[in-house]
Chain A
Amino acid sequence: MYIELKNINKSYGGFKASDNVNFGIEKGKLVALLGPSGSGKTTILRMIAGLENPDSGEIIIDGRVVNAVPASERGIGFVFQSYALFRYMTVYDNIAFGLKVRRMNKAAINERVNGLIELIGLKGFGNRYPSQLSGGQRQRVAFARALAPNPQVLLLDEPFAAIDAKVRQELRKWLKDMIHQLGVTGIFVTHDQDEAIEVSDEIIVTNKGRVEQTGTPIDIYRHPATAFTSSFFGVTSELSDYMSFRSFDDIGEYDKAIVRPEFVKITKKNEFQKYKSSAVEGVVRDTQFRGNSIEVTVNCNNCTFSARRGLDEPAVEIGEKVDVFIYRIFVTHGDDVKLLKNNALREETVVI
């Protein structure tokens, strides 16, 4: 592990911003810290950077405990949520700052800064001040500035939060490619799961100062380990009484039954439905075109949830009565989560 946090605790006053945080990140990986606002993501990032000291626990970078190493000597690149560009310096001087501090010679600085300006696609903007740039351009300058001194670790705090949706999409891909190309180890903070899924190699889910789960995006999506992750991750709806849907085991006491759109199959009355006997009748409340599918919201057994239908399938109308079949549900109890499969599926495997 290149970066490792061991039993990190941090309190502000009586408030636990980090509660026994543990995780490790391999060299060259781009990892997302994903969690709702206030879950302690920024705090973790600031402790790794050395801007904040943990109350207890160890932070290890490249095999060395860095708790006592001041921020200025950790050699970490940091992109602030607000970018924190030096507003009285030009783009060029912003990027050159870290190199000048290192007393690199002028020619080398010039070469590196101009190279970076080109890399971020801002050639000809070197003499501009941050206030004369768009949000996306500022973000890229902040990125280049953090990278200029060749850090081995790059930390980014909600790097896309202040950028409009269209540019954001572009920047995400750009950032991902760039980081892998440079071979640095990166951690970025986000509260947006789509962003985390799209950009990162691995996701660390945080909640209330704790790490809920770590794993690859697909891993976490398929196997949420805690009640929190199962409802936080993905588009989820709750069923008030899952036993009212046919063919699920009764596990006794539970808190929430959660379905995702891909857990649900909606068929028109005249369509073929293999598990018709286990389907429940529902009423279509809404349909939404989603680009590559139609999202259908149904009302069924006093619950509202959605499913997707292909663009090539016959359209369903609002108010239409349809068959609703649920393949799987996540059922949570306390901190635990359990995946329940519809028994109709199991019977079939037995038969075959």
Chain B
Amino acid sequence: MTAENTEKTSPVISREGSTDIHAKTAGSKAVKIILITVSVLFLFVMLVMPLITVIYEAFRKGLVPYLEAISDPDTMSALLLTLEATVIAVVINTVFGLFAAWTISKFRFHGKKVLVTLIDLPVTVSPIIAGLIFVLTFGRQSVLYPFLESIDFMVVYAVPGIILATVFVTFPFISREILPVLDAQGTDEEEAAALMGAKGLTIFRKITLPHIKWALMYGIVLCAARAMGEFGAVSVLSGHLRGKTVTLPLQVEILFGDNKFMPAFAVSSILVVLAVVILIVRSIVEYIGKRRGEK
């Protein structure tokens, strides 16, 4: 390549010393096609194929074995436990998320940066480690254990542990979504409302909530999706007591470990369906939210 070439064409595209403008735009068209193809291929191999495989494997032996597999009592109780943990995690994290986001964006105080960092902790810590932390905090070797035992409240290898783990790993999702919106709004409108005599709850309901509604919904969807799929931390705290402390992802693991491939895929298909439902809800929320935002 000559110095002249480099001068005339943009350094990104010209490889072969194509100096004229037309070759350059043609080159960028080719780049576009290549990039799109690569992305589509990547998505297909990484996402679509596995999804098809799951559904295909689940139904390979026909509908009846599929229905049998998913109506297995252990699977049903796993589904219920998953839904229970998800709902509780969403409720707790919604409340917490609102409080945290509000506190962080509306007040100035010492240690604010620390709090913001702490909220992110659950996504940065490996879920397995999170599980272990809870085992150490609430398990037999913990100082809390005698007390928990005396009130007959078991955390480790019990449902509360599962819920705790789920709440922990989905901790930041909602507050993270609301925070930027609250920050962008500033405090002016709330102050204006306060000056007109409105009290805290009215201000929140009438001024703040309409503003963060869509971000909140989006956060809830993300939180629910993550809660349903949680495996690592739950796995550590579960103890795998079938029909008691097994969630859907754990049930899949168990079936897979027992070489029951078809049932494993059948149960997986439930998770896939739930995931697709959530994705659809997410798209709707995003769409409506955007339209409202533009008005």
Contacts and interface: CB of A to CB of B under 8 A. Distances in A.
Contact of A101 (B188, B197, B210, B211): B197
Contacts of A72: 194-199
Contacts, number: 62
B197 A149 contact: yes
A283 interface: no
Given A71-B195, A97-B206, A80 B211 contact: no
Nearest to B211: A88
B211 A71 contact: no
B110 interface: no
A51 interface: yes
A86 B207 contact: yes
Interface residues of A, number: 27
A49 B206 contact: no
- Main secondary structure, interface of B, reads helix
Contact of B210 (A49, A88, A145): A88
B193 A97 contact: yes
B68 interface: no
A78 interface: yes
Given A80-B188, A84-B191, A101 B196 contact: yes
B72 interface: no
A131 B194 contact: no
B103 interface: no
A98 B197 CA distance: 7
Interface in B196-214: 196-199, 202, 206-207, 210-211
A76 interface: yes
Nearest to A46: B191
Interface in B177-234: 186, 188-189, 191-199, 202, 206-207, 210-211
Contacts of B291: none
B195 A78 contact: yes
A73 B295 CA distance: 34
Contacts of A73: 197
A351 B202 CA distance: 77
B196 A98 contact: yes
A49 B196 CA distance: 11
Contacts of B192: 78, 80, 84-86, 145
Contacts of B207: 86, 88
Nearest to B199: A72
Contacts of B197: 72-73, 75, 98, 101-102, 149
Top 3 A-B pairs, shortest CB-CB distance? A98-B196, A84-B188, A88-B210
16 contacts: A51-B191, A71-B194, A72-B198, A74-B195, A80-B188, A80-B191, A82-B188, A84-B191, A85-B192, A86-B189, A88-B207, A97-B196, A101-B196, A101-B198, A149-B196, A149-B197
